[in-house]
C-alpha cells in the first residue's frame, strides 16, 4: 500500500476532516497518531480501528495551550523518532461579528488555528528531517483566501496558515520536505453542523455543485499531498470547495 511503513501525526484526527484523513492513511498502510482535544472521541477511534486492524494510536493535545502542544510532540517523537507525515488539520470557529468578538476568543482562535500548529510543527521537525522526504500538510480554509463574514479572526488565522505553508516550504526544501496546504470550503462536519440551517442553505446555493463537501473528499486532497505522488509539489495552496471559490 502507498503508505506502508510511514508514521503520520494528524491533529484534529478524532472527527470531521481529520478523522477521514486518519482512516484514509491507516487504510493505506500508515501507522497514524490521532492527536485531538477530545479524548473520548479519540480513544473511541482507536477502538474502532482495532476492530478493522488499522494501526491508529491516540495522543491528547490542546492546540490553544503551548505546553500541551510541546508535551504531545515530546510523547510522539519519543515513540517514533522518525516522523514521515504531519497533518495540521485541527481547527475551530464560532460566529461573531468582529465588533462583538470577545478579546479572549481572538487569542484562542488564533492559537487553535495557527500558533498551536506552528509550535507543533517546530517541535516535530527534527524527527521529520531525520526521516527524510517527509511531508507536511496544513489544513487552512477558503475563509482565509476570500474572507468570511462573522469569522474575521478565524479567517486571519487561516490566512496565516497559508503564509506559514509557503515560507516553511522554502526553508524545508533543502531537507527534501514538501509542505502544502489544503483549503476546504463548506464541508459536512460537526463544526459546520453548529451553524444555522439558513447559513448552510446559503452555502449550498453558492457552491457550483450545489452540495456540501464530504470530509473524505477533502481527505483525498490531503493524502495526495502526504504521499509519494506529490514528490515535486511544494508551497501549493489547493481549494477543495466545489467551485465556491477560485483564484484567477
Helix (H) or strand (E) holding 58: strand 56-60
Out of 96, 105, 154, 246, which one is annotated catalytic? 154
Grid coordinates given for 160:
496565516
For 85-109, give one letter per residue: b (16+ CB within 10 A) or e: bbbbbbbbbeebeeeebeeeebebb
Q: Are 89 and 11 in contact (CB under 8 A)?
A: yes
| Residue 154: active-site member | yes
Alpha-carbon span 204 to 208, nearest angstrom = 8
Tell me which residue has cell 531537507. Answer: 175
Alpha-carbon span 2 to 50, nearest angstrom = 20
19-20-25 Cα angle (round to 5): 100
Q: Sign of torsion, CA 70 75 80 85?
A: negative
Catalytic residues: 154
Amino acid at each position: 500500500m502507498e503508505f506502508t511503513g510511514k508514521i503520520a501525526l494528524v491533529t484534529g484526527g478524532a472527527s470531521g476532516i481529520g478523522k477521514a484523513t486518519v482512516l484514509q492513511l491507516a487504510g493505506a498502510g500508515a501507522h497514524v497518531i490521532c492527536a485531538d482535544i477530545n479524548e473520548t472521541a479519540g480513544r473511541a477511534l482507536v477502538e474502532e480501528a482495532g476492530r478493522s486492524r488499522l494501526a491508529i494510536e491516540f495522543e491528547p493535545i490542546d492546540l490553544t495551550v503551548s505546553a500541551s502542544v510541546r508535551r504531545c510532540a515530546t510523547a510522539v517523537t519519543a515513540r517514533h523518532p522518525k516522523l514521515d507525515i504531519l497533518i495540521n488539520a485541527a481547527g475551530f470557529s464560532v460566529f461573531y461579528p468582529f465588533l462583538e468578538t470577545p478579546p479572549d476568543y481572538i487569542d484562542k482562535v488564533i492559537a487553535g488555528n495557527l500558533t498551536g500548529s506552528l509550535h507543533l510543527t517546530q517541535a516535530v521537525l527534527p524527527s521529520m528531517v531525520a526521516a527524510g522526504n517527509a511531508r507536511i500538510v496544513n489544513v487552512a480554509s477558503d475563509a482565509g483566501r476570500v474572507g468570511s463574514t462573522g469569522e474575521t479572526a478565524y479567517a486571519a488565522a487561516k490566512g496565516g496558515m497559508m503564509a506559514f505553508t509557503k515560507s516553511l516550504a522554502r526553508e524545508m526544501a533543502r531537507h527534501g520536505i514538501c509542505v502544502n496546504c489544503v483549503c476546504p470550503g463548506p464541508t459536512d462536519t460537526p463544526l459546520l453542523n453548529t451553524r444555522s440551517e439558513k447559513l448552510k442553505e446559503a452555502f449550498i446555493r453558492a457552491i457550483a455543485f450545489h452540495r456540501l463537501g464530504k470530509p473524505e473528499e477533502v481527505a483525498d486532497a490531503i493524502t495526495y499531498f502526504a504521499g509519494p505522488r506529490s514528490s515535486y509539489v511544494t508551497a501549493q495552496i489547493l481549494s477543495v470547495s466545489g467551485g465556491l471559490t477560485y483564484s484567477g
